[in-house]
Structure 1
Amino acid sequence: MQEPNRPSPYVVYAHHYVPQYLQQLPNPHPLQAPVCQWPHAPPYPPIPMPARTPNSLWKEASKSLNKDQKILEIAHLIRETLQMTPTDFTLSTISSNDDFSDFRNKFYVSHAIESFLNVVESDKRGQEKLKEWMKYRAVKQVAELVSEEMEGLKGYMKMGMEEITSEFLEGFRISDITKKFEEASPTLRCILKAACQTERAARENTIKTPELSQLCRFRSENSQCVAIVFGGFLYSTGVSKKVYNFLSTCCQLVPSHRSMRTANEKLASDRILSAQRQARLGFAQSHDNTQLLTSVHIEQRDFMPKKVQVGTTSLILSLRNAPYSALSLSRIISRRANAPLITFNSDIRLSPFQVLDFNILSPAIDSS
């Protein structure tokens, strides 16, 4: 319990020890203040003075300095006292030493790295240093990134000969493939464009673009989405077998000639099955003339097809929204037997109004 006549320790400290502490600042030991005794009886234990830490000394000395001056003074202090450059000091604080773990964690969690690299890049000398440092590391990183992009495209381009259908060929658009490549492989497309064309061509060219479908087939034989379509086009236009095999073996642009024959047989079987299904429903039958052209340099062998083949093909056409009553065979035969004959004047010759419309439309058709 405190004696009645004894003042509070905070009052004793403020009125007695602080003046003594300020008088003894030029102490031989500047970082530690002396310990004084309370002179009045009865004797009391000593009250220690606060230590003069480097942080407190720096705060007192730097009150009149602005931010740049403080940074400059700290840089001189690091160089003169520690014999280190500010860069060495920074590297030491983010090193693997456990004593600096707090500084290291804050350095990597914040955006300090990005800010530091931006400052270095803003200087021309820093740009040269960064390019030299990134030269080999960037190649490895870009290669890994391109590999990841191609792995993603491999599944999108996956298609075998047994999977091709007529519906796929009818709905195939190369622009859809290109759009998918632009979304899934921006890095690889940028590299190919830089390799295929100059900067001026990249700005002005809007027609020719490098396609990645060939690279997908190099990566996986199952990625034949575009190769099958291109091979079918060459096969149907009559490209010679030698040229086709060259494009398949050396350029990897199309499947092999044997594989393309398998695909054609698959398509033919699908069309036969489609015709069989349609024949069980309502259909109309028609005929159309066909003309098959083979390559100009046709192989001169026995039993080879002629350069031009002409024939007639039967067509089965589906009838949409046709009622079953209209497909009754007895009614069709009855209507055919009772139908009036077709005459030239009433059914074939144009009416005056039709002739007038034809004369009006003919100049427009000829001019277009």
Structure 2
Amino acid sequence: MARPVEPRRPHRVAVLVRPGVLPMELGLVHQLFRAARSPRKVPLYEVTSFALEPGPVPTDADFAVHVECGPAVLADADTVVVPASHLLDETDDVLPPALRDALARIRPGTRIASICTGAFVLAAAGLLDGHRATTHWHSAERFRRAFPAVEVDPNVLYTDNGEVLTSAGEAAGIDLCLHLIRRDHGAAVANEVARSMVVPPHREGGQAQYLQLPVPEPGARDSTARAREWALRNLHRPLSLPELAAREAMSTRTFTRRFRQEVGTSPLRWLTQQRVERARQLLERTDLPVDRVAEAVGFTSAVSLRQHLATTLGVSPSAYRQTFGGDRHIMPG
């Protein structure tokens, strides 16, 4: 079996540090990308923080961070990450000249991502016009008013428009970084990073599950978790909405409403997401033919699997396997 190709050099990640930066967001970018290793334990990313003016930069905590590098690092960056600033975001819809000049150093084709209200920077730079984007749900309405050319989705944990990505609140930055690692190097590497950080490799749903919901009356059934667990054990089967609702002894209407409140998406869309994710795992880890993979995850045919992967990942099953398959084995059964 062919082994994964070792990168010629680490992927360079530049992280913008602005006054009022959230220490958690700054730290998580370094921790997650620096934890990513090739099968031979070679670092896959090189992470560098930079400030518009090198030196001490105040955070939103009671300490500052010393940043040695300036915007010159952007000229060689492959990915640029913009964490939030509680001092600067949501105060101005136009980029300050120094920040505008710094972003102008980014090479064409460089990937740029925001965490939390860092999306305000990307929007002010015009990078999100005509695209779907997210930010912290608390700031979503302000974002929508300030940037009407951007399609705001406050319910998701992150959005991916190819070269431009956005994520929701602080912890959603973890989801975004793992998504980028998964996109670059496959689920196995991302899962290993998640395991080392003691975080889930993929969280279900979006921000909707973190919004404050009405408190149910005592004894009310308010969980669809059992139905989800049962569905994950039976992805190979055709699963219907009435069948899932029956697992929780709910009507389909009530189940759908509760499911969307708890997971942030519809039951059938969630099922498709889980089937795609299971298919990715089988393509990476086994030599099963594409039609067998489709059968194992509950798609009706190899054609259906190809269509869903093309829509979700932009590649065919064979192309995905060629990129991320590496060393595989045939699973029993």
Taking structure 2 as the reference length, the TM-score comes to: 0.22
- The structure, 1 or 2, with the larger RCO (C-alpha pairs under 8 Å, 6+ apart) is 2
> Whose radius of gyration is greater, 1 or 2?
1
**TM-score scaled by structure 1?**
0.21
Determine which structure has the larger helix proportion and give its number. 1
Name the structure where strand makes up a greater proportion of residues. 2
